[in-house]
Amino acid sequence: MTDNIIDNSRYSRQVAFSAVGTQGQEAISRGRVLLIGCGALGTNIAASLVRSGIGSLHIVDPDRVELSNLQRQALFDEEDSRQGAFKAQAAVKHLARINSQVQLESFTARFDVQTAASFEPGKYDIILDGTDDILSRFFINDYAVSNNIPWIYGAVAGAAGMAAFFPASGNPCLRCVFDPPASRNEVDTAQTRGVIAPVVTMTTSIQCCWALKYLSGRNIKPLMAHYDIWADHIAYAELVSAGHMCSCCGKNT
């Protein structure tokens, strides 16, 4: 693998970045990522991580490509929308042309209580949230904590967004920071407030940066980034565990 990476001009710029280097690139090339959701966030995450040379990407999404997706869902084209292609399958088709060295797998399904048992947690080093759905994120959180897998949250609405890194086994986890809403309707989303493409790529850039840091062997603090790029605002906050008060990760304290 070392010779392959050194000889491989594909990753030369990433390897030249000293924080990654050859060792970091080798670690990244072994990284196994479960990507849940392949819409605006998910397609941008997929393209970035596959170009970065991760080992494998496993994509889960139940939906088909529609014309209204093309404004911000980076991998898809008009042909995918004409065919009504399944997003996970269409993404894999395009990603395979971008980087044939990455092992790709698609699941046309919703990641939920009915399907989670068919995913083997030992196959994934990290989970990336591309759902942009608040209730799905709580399900991902509980799955990640119970299976000891770190995960990276991403959310967008309008020109505002948030990204957060949650460590394996929580402390903190998403439930330490937020209570779940009673329904999806209580939360601003891209459906209710619209969304501009730059805040999608801002969010996925932060998510993918944390993923590369983690996969290259860095220790990452539990962090949340929040921003409104139309209002020229960005801030990072360290996340704090709720300890034994957390109904999800409290048992691990």
8 A C-beta contact, residue 129 and residue 187: no
Residue with Cβ nearer Zn ion (37 or 170): 170
Residue with Cβ nearer Zn ion (95 or 176): 176
To the nearest whole angstrom, how small is the minimum distance from the Cβ of residue 163 to Zn ion?
A: 18
Residue with Cβ nearer Zn ion (5 or 249): 249
Residue with Cβ nearer Zn ion (234 or 245): 245
Looking only at residues 171 through 210 of this chain, which bind Zn ion when binding is defined by CB under 5 A? 173, 175-176
What φ, ψ does residue 112 adopt, rounded to 5°? -150, -170
Per CB under 5 A, does 88 bind Zn ion?
no
Per CB under 5 A, does 249 bind Zn ion?
yes
To the nearest whole angstrom, how small is the minimum distance from the Cβ of residue 137 to Zn ion?
A: 13
Looking only at residues 137 through 176 of this chain, which bind Zn ion when binding is defined by CB under 5 A? 170, 173, 175-176
* Sites of contact with Zn ion (CB under 5 A): 170, 173, 175-176, 246, 248-249
